[in-house]
Amino acid sequence: MQQIINFILRNKTTLLYLSLLFLGLSLSIRSHSYHRALFFNSSNRVTGSIYNTQSNISAYFGLKEENEKLVEENTLLRTLLFNSAEKEVPTLEIDSFPFEVIPAQIIKNDFARRNNYITINKGLRDGVAQDMGVITSQGILGIVEQTSSRFAGVQSILNTKSNINAKIKNTNNFGSLKWDTKRFDVVQLEDIPRMVPLNIGDTIVTGAMSSIFPENIPIGTIKKFDLTTSQSFYNIDVALFNDMTNIKQVYIINNKNSAEIRNLQEKISNDQ
């Protein structure tokens, strides 16, 4: 304490000058609009520069993560290509493919509500329409519900209204994928009969009973299962492959045959 007092006594003139200077600047800034504006503009430039640097750093690391995902996808595609039964890959007419893929980015992502929706930066002018599937490089994300010219609203799989056809991989055992709202990383698979053999870690993928998603799009793995009260069907918890809190790049799937399929199904329903 004595050292602090000695320091103040030795430098009392300098400290008094700095105190008066600070007081004078404060009074000048408060009483003159020009000085006040100059001060705050300078302050904003400094803080803006800091925020811009932080943003650039965040963008850099985000870009690195996206690049890693693209590398994983390319690796998978090359593996499929190299293990193809065909010795030569024939020239394919893209227009003949039943599924069209449209890349997009998420601009708003809800995951903490009962009925969550995701907004993406593609809309009608980009060929996006209602009832198109939306996926990521890891698995399914949801279904397009509303569209505008430049944007689309996607009903997330984390939505009590969501009901997606799914199955156990490499089998024909189908069920309905729903969400009980308890966890944002777990959904439920219903209507799987008790006689179906299950194992923790079994992979769940999209089924073939839908005109929205192609078959075998990844969803997640079985985390837990038990039987319902009636003991006829399993209650199955599925741990999602997607981190629903951290998604940026998505792919919209347009099944070019979906309209024809729906029209046929409606005719069949009307005839029954």
Residue 38 confidence (pLDDT) above 70: no
The pLDDT, as a whole number, for residue 45 is: 43
pLDDT tens sequence across 104-158: 889 999 999 999 999 999 999 999 999 999 998 889 999 999 999 999 999 999 9
Question: Contact, 119 vs 105, CB < 8 A?
Answer: no
Residue 95 confidence (pLDDT) above 50: yes
pLDDT tens sequence across 160-190: 999 999 999 988 899 999 999 999 999 999 9
Could you give the C-alpha distances from 41 to 24, 33, 38, 133, 263, in angstroms and in order? 19, 12, 5, 47, 62
- Where exactly are the structural domains of the chain? 98-256
pLDDT tens sequence across 9-35: 677 677 676 777 666 666 665 555 444
| Mean pLDDT rounded to a whole number for the chain | 78
The pLDDT, as a whole number, for residue 257 is: 81
Residue tagged 């930066």 (tokens): 121
Backbone angles phi, psi at 176, to 5 degrees: -115, 130
The pLDDT, as a whole number, for residue 39 is: 47
pLDDT tens sequence across 244-254: 998 888 889 99
What confidence category does residue 258 fall into, taking pLDDT thresholds of 50, 70 and 90?
confident
What confidence category does residue 57 fall into, taking pLDDT thresholds of 50, 70 and 90?
low
The pLDDT, as a whole number, for residue 255 is: 86
Residue 59 confidence (pLDDT) above 80: no
Residues 6+ apart with CB under 8 A from 264: none
Q: Which CATH superfamily is domain 98-256 in?
A: Rod shape-determining protein MreC, domain 1 (2.40.10.340)
Residue tagged 């609203």 (tokens): 153
Residues 6+ apart with CB under 8 A from 183: none
Residue 76 confidence (pLDDT) above 80: no
Question: Contact, 58 vs 64, CB < 8 A?
Answer: no
Query: For the residues 218-226, what does the mean pLDDT come to?
Result: 94
**CA–CA distance, 268 with 263 (Å, rounded to integer):** 9
